[in-house]
């Protein structure tokens, strides 16, 4: 946390604090945390040091979904935890299966306002 405060100032964002706590947890490491959020340990290091040059929105969303778990209302499933929502959103990029549940979630995630990828694709 010392490094994060040094780089972010005294008002370290809550999601960065959650990232620090995940990295500092017994048996954890930046590499393990990076694997859980789907990025490299270098990206985690840059985040902790407030040096990541890219857009933080997607990273913040992933950290919040995985380490600050809450619940959201899914248009297809109702109340689900944020990690499950993130998992379905990640899989909604391309339709790889014809199982009824996968098709249902593919369609629901593509129009869900929580799915930033859809919004980014519409703008591009």
pLDDT (tens digit per residue) in 39-82: 999 999 999 999 999 889 889 988 988 898 788 888 889 998 88
In the chain, what are the domains? 2-67 (1.10.260), 71-123 (no CATH)
Reported confidence tier of residue 99, pLDDT bands at 50, 70, 90: confident
Q: Are the beta carbons of 34 and 63 closer than 8 angstroms?
A: no
**Beta strands per DSSP E along the chain:** 71-74, 78-81
- Quick check: 120 pLDDT over 50? no
The pTM assigned to this predicted structure is 0.70
Q: Are the beta carbons of 17 and 31 closer than 8 angstroms?
A: no
């Amino acid at each position: 946390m010392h490094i994060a405060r040094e780089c972010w100032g005294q008002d370290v964002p809550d999601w960065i604090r959650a990232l620090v706590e995940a990295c500092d947890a017994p048996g954890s490491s930046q590499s393990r945390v990076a694997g859980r959020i789907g990025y490299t340990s270098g990206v985690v290091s840059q985040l902790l040091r407030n040096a990541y040059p890219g857009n933080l929105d997607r990273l913040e969303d992933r950290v919040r979904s995985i380490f600050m778990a809450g619940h959201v209302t899914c248009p297809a499933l109702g109340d689900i935890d944020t990690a499950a929502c993130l998992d379905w959103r990640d899989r909604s990029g391309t339709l790889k299966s014809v199982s009824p549940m996968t098709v249902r979630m593919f369609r629901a995630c593509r129009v869900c306002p929580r799915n930033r990828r859809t919004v980014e694709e519409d703008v591009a």
